[in-house]
């Protein structure tokens, strides 16, 4: 079963392509060398499986140049697809994977990943602790994932119509928003945001009664929505003036609208906490080329490479030193205060994905999908 959260990640990449956004390269940044010797990885092809763009050759330039290696990449369209690939012959043949944070605990529990030797990834020391020490990246005192990027869930609005986003997602039910709203076609993102607005401590872990309340709130907002669609769809409708506010949006909607002559702004609600996402590198169990795997990951989370990766994937940088290297107009799209604080209590620790199966009174994915179908009806 393919989960909508995976389609959200896929749609971000399609949106980048449709926006025609310029890629950042090493030019102007100067050359760099990681503190990890790449000699042992020389000439070894690296087998990569994961999200397209997270093997970016511009970001990987130092790895490719210093080792003379190539990257043999297989791209996936969902977190489930990657797990299936590892279970059905990938172990022993894949060196590095990239996946969304919400799937990493599943991969660890299934024994598909190996613990990482952090002494071989010195650049990981510069990753924001909220990311590097997130509960989903750890198990039994071992680290299994090295974050490479992150993002949030902004509201995007037309400043000619609105001065700021609402304080809470529940406020979107107000009659003043009638005919003004668009939202992302993603069950878990939307229901999670409304669950958060109702004050549930972990918005993805709720009972059926709480999910019913979430659906009731979603339906009260539904009367104000003119489109449930992709990032590109939402942007186009707002550029035309047929709507003036998007929720579960993306900062790059502002950039795409600007390319079409329209001015939009993005920001977060004042009181509700939105969800945060992150993608991370891991090394599968029985990876055949460990030297190449460690050299690649260390390069990609180094400051210069991570800055390139952040720009070219429309994401926030995971390496704290990378932030200053990102052009200001791109850097200011993300509020890096969101990845400060205690890793255990930061919103990054929460999953957007509900449990795969019910956990006692806590409902699973099937109940969320049923609620979404009712909302979309």
Q: Which of 5-9, 89-93, 218-222 has the lowest mean pLDDT?
A: 5-9
pLDDT at 80: 86
Which CATH number fits the domain 4-151+277-345, given the four candidates 3.40.190.10, 3.40.50.720, 3.30.70.120, 3.40.50.300? 3.40.190.10
| Whole-number Cα distances in Å, 151 to 1, 35, 215, 340 | 25, 28, 25, 13
Q: Is the distance from CB of 165 to CB of 267 less than 8 angstroms?
A: yes
Residue 301 has pLDDT above 90, yes or no: yes
Which candidate, 253, 255, 252, 300, places its Cα nearest to that of 279?
A: 300
Average pLDDT on 221-234 reads: 95
pLDDT at 273: 80
pLDDT at 71: 97
Return the DSSP state at 201: S
Residue 17 has pLDDT above 70, yes or no: no
The residues pairing with 97 across neighbouring beta strands, listed in sequence order, are: 49, 282
Q: Confidence band (pLDDT; 50, 70, 90) for 39?
A: low
Average pLDDT on 353-373 reads: 96
pLDDT at 19: 56
pLDDT at 79: 84
pLDDT at 1: 33
Residue 173 has pLDDT above 50, yes or no: yes
Q: Where does the chain hold its CATH 3.40.190.10 domain(s)? A: 4-151+277-345, 155-275+353-376
* Backbone region of residue 300 per phi and psi (left: phi > 0; alpha: psi in -120 to 50; beta: other values): alpha
329 burial via Cβ count (<10 Å: 0-12, 13-18, 19+): exposed
* Dihedral in degrees, nearest 10, Cα atoms 314, 232, 264, 239: 150
Q: What is the mean pLDDT of the chain?
A: 90
Average pLDDT on 33-42 reads: 53
Q: Confidence band (pLDDT; 50, 70, 90) for 313?
A: confident
pLDDT at 35: 41
Residue 27 has pLDDT above 80, yes or no: no
Handedness of CA 129, 134, 138, 141 (dihedral sign): positive
pLDDT digits (tens, 9 = 90+) for 45-72: 999 999 999 999 999 999 999 999 999 9
| 142-143 and 138-139 strand pairing | antiparallel
Residue 303 has pLDDT above 80, yes or no: yes
Average pLDDT on 212-236 reads: 96
Domain 155-275+353-376: CATH class, spelled out: alpha beta
**What's the CA gap between 312 and 220, in Å, rounded?**
37
pLDDT at 207: 98
pLDDT at 28: 42
pTM score, whole prediction: 0.85
Q: Which of 3-17, 177-191, 227-241 has the lowest mean pLDDT?
A: 3-17
pLDDT at 3: 41
What residues contact 229, with CB distance under 8 A and at least 6 apart? Answer: 182, 184, 185, 237
């Amino acid at each position: 079963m393919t989960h909508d959260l995976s389609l959200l990640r896929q749609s971000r990449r399609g949106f980048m392509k449709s926006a025609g956004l310029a890629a950042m390269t090493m030019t102007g940044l100067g050359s760099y060398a990681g503190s990890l010797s790449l000699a042992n990885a020389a000439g070894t092809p690296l087998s990569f499986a994961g999200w397209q763009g997270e093997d970016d050759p511009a970001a990987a330039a130092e790895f490719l140049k210093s080792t003379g290696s190539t990257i043999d990449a297989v791209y996936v369209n969902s977190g489930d697809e990657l797990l299936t690939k590892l279970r059905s012959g990938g172990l022993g043949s894949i060196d590095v994977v990239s996946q969304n944070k919400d799937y990493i605990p599943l991969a660890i529990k299934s024994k598909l990943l190996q613990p990482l030797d952090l002494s071989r990834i010195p650049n990981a020391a510069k990753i924001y602790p909220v990311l590097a020490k997130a509960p989903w990246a750890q198990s039994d005192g071992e680290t299994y994932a090295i974050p490479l990027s992150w993002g949030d869930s902004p509201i995007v609005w037309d400043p000619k119509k609105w001065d700021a986003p609402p304080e809470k997602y529940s406020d979107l039910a107000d009659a003043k928003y009638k005919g003004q709203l668009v939202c992302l076609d993603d069950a878990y993102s939307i229901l999670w945001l409304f669950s958060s607005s109702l004050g549930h401590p972990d918005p993805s872990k709720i009972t059926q009664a709480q999910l019913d309340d979430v659906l009731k709130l979603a339906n009260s907002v539904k009367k104000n929505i003119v489109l449930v669609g992709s990032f590109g769809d939402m942007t186009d409708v707002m550029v035309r003036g047929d709507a003036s506010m998007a929720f579960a949006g993306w900062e790059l909607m502002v950039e795409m609208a600007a390319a079409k002559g329209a001015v939009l702004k993005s920001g977060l609600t004042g009181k509700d906490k939105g969800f945060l996402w992150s993608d991370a590198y891991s090394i599968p169990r029985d990876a055949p080329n460990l030297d190449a795997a460690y050299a690649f990951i260390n390069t990609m989370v180094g400051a210069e490479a991570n800055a390139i990766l952040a720009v070219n994937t429309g994401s926030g940088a995971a390496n704290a030193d990378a932030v200053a290297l990102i052009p200001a107009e791109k850097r200011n799209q993300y509020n890096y205060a969101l990845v400060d604080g205690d890793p255990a209590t930061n919103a990054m620790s929460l999953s957007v994905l509900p449990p795969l199966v019910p956990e006692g009174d806590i409902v699973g994915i099937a109940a969320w999908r049923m609620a979404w179908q009712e909302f979309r009806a």
